[in-house]
Homo-oligomer: A and B are copies of this chain.
Amino acid sequence: MPHKLMRIERAGAQQTATRRPIMLAIAGDSAAGKTILTKGIVQALGPERITSFCVDDYHRYDREERKNLPFTALHPDCNYVEVLEQHLQLLSAGRPILKPVYDHNTGQLVRPELVEPRDFVIAEGLLPLHTKLARACFDISVYLNPPEQIRRQWKINRDTAKRGYAETQVLAELARREAESEEFIRPQRSHADIVVRFAPAPGRDDPPGTPLSAELLLRSTIRHPNLNKVLGEGPHGAIHLRLGRDEDSRPVDSLHIHGYGPREESQVVENAIWSQLGVGVGDPPQTLGVLDSGERSEPLAITQLLLLYHLLDSMS
């Protein structure tokens, strides 16, 4: 029916042309740190320039219905994957979507809400990088990959403090989800432009309260700022860049930022990243790196700044 399609295209073309936003995916398992990473970026750019949403809102079943199902919320069959793909395409074309809403407190699917794209859109959650079409909608993609032991502790802390579960319930849920984490969540790691691992610095005995270190795998699927000049020479401090090979044996850089490092050393790297955006961008935002506790983490700050760099760099 070419006639009908042409009618739709003609009618659609009369809508106002919209600018395409820059799309960032932040994927990772439950309690991997997606919210805190997202929050700092949204605060730095401000709600008039960036919007973020959670792809877990695309749950097909509510908590009650899931009790009778042979899979958990991590399974693609438990999510409207095709509708998510559709909405990512629409947002990426600058169109608004009517996004479903999953209420984590009640476990119910409730009234949907309008999401209108800004200059930047962050889609964070369990499965943003699961399908090829979803991946194609993103300009930048991140996978959060903390050691399982740390993620488990984060999940226990959060779900007991904020979601009203007992520790035994959280442990049972983690066990129930393990096979699907392995089958559906972790494979997304290989599709990300940047893999972020927050973990204690190995072989050190830092005092309690020392922020976790970060290791950032910087794949060549996007063009990263050149940090070799500022980090490649001289004695290694708390931040260094290491040339290595990725799982598929391709060359890859990894950026190590140790949590014990001084603020001054981070600032050198932050300025080096920021200055590569070109003249006239001002100083790097100073509000990054804030943890849930209110304390500051240099590894988190640099990770967020690197993502900010990519968002702003993709606009040009």
State the CA gap A133–B108 with chains docked (Å). Answer: 34
CA distance A4 to B62 in the complex (A): 34
Q: Is the CB of A136 within 8 A of B96?
A: no
Q: How far is the CA of A136 from the CA of B15 in the complex (A)?
A: 13
Contact B14 A133 (CB under 8 A): yes
Contact A8 B133 (CB under 8 A): yes
How many residues of A are in contact with the other chain, CB < 8 A? 37
**Chain B residues with CB under 8 A of A60:** 114
The A interface, classified by DSSP as helix, strand, loop or mixed, is: mixed
A243 in contact (CB, < 8 A):
no
Task: Say yes or no for A86: interface residue by CB 8 A criterion.
Answer: yes
A98-B80, A98-B100, A109-B112 known; A133 vs B11 contact (CB < 8 Å): yes
A135 at the interface (CB under 8 A from B): yes
Do A136 and B8 contact each other (CB < 8 Å), given the known contacts A109-B112, A111-B109, A114-B80? yes
At the interface with chain B, which of A87-95, A183-191, A256-264?
A: A87-95
Query: In the complex, are the beta carbons of B83 and A4 less than 8 A apart?
Result: no
Distance of A13 from chain B, by nearest CB (Å): 9
Q: Which residues of B contact A212 (CB under 8 A)?
A: none
- Copy count, this protein chain: 2
B112, A100: Cβ atoms closer than 8 Å: yes
User: How distant is A23 from chain B, measured CB to nearest CB, in Å?
Assistant: 8
* A31 beta carbon closer than 8 Å to chain B: no
Pairwise interchain contact B110-A111, C-beta atoms closer than 8 A = yes
Give Cα A15–Cα B89 distance, bound, in whole angstroms.
14
B-binding residues in A (CB < 8 A): 1, 4-5, 7-8, 10-12, 14-15, 20, 60, 62, 80, 82-83, 86, 89-90, 92, 95-98, 100, 108-112, 114, 132-133, 135-137, 139
26 A-B residue pairs with CB within 8 Å:
A1-B139, A4-B136, A5-B20, A7-B136, A8-B92, A8-B133, A8-B136, A8-B137, A11-B136, A12-B133, A14-B132, A14-B133, A62-B111, A82-B95, A83-B96, A83-B97, A83-B98, A83-B114, A86-B90, A98-B100, A100-B111, A100-B112, A109-B111, A110-B111, A111-B111, A112-B112
